[in-house]
Amino acid sequence: MRSADAVLLAVPLYNFGVPQHVKAWIDVVIAGAKSADETLLAGKPVVLVVARGGAYGPGTPREGWDHSIDYQSRILADVWGGELTVIEREFTLVGVNPALDQFKDIAATFKDAAHAAAAEAGKALG
């Protein structure tokens, strides 16, 4: 990671948090740092893409249940010093789970916004 020019992570929300494999990877990287203060990504562009099957944003019934983005942001930006961009994609289970079919229009809006944000982030990384 020290020699990376940029970092791109795509991480799903899994049981309201970070998947165990991502958490284990973060733990291994922290344990292998030269010191607790080592900023492994200082000044480097970091893009975190988070996919969520449901909706957890402001005003939704599950607002605050996403325990993933804050944790990852703390590590990637605050601990490792990366220049973080977060791209969120909600309602990925619309069209898969019939109980969510009523949210087809808002899901399409979220998808379009995420694609636009990804395109911008890609230009910045390029």
Query: Alpha helix locations (H) across the chain?
Result: 20-31, 69-73, 104-125
Measured from the Cβ of residue 25, the count of other Cβ atoms closer than 10 Å reads 13
* Residue 52 near residue 66, CB atoms below 8 Å: yes
What is the per-residue pLDDT across 100-115, written as a single tens digit (0 to 9) for each? 999 999 999 999 999 9
What pLDDT is stored for residue 60 in this prediction? 87
The pLDDT of residue 35 is 82
Q: How many CB atoms lie within 10 A of CB 69?
A: 17
pLDDT at 63: 93
Residue-range domains of the chain with CATH: 7-125 (3.40.50.360)
pLDDT at 2 over 90: no
**The pLDDT value given to residue 11:** 96
- What pLDDT, in 10s, does the model give residues 7-52? 999 999 989 999 999 999 999 998 888 887 889 999 999 999 999 9
pLDDT surpassing 80 at residue 121: yes
Read off the pLDDT of residues 40-89 as tens digits, 9 standing for 90 and up. 999 999 999 999 999 998 888 899 999 999 999 999 999 999 999 999 99
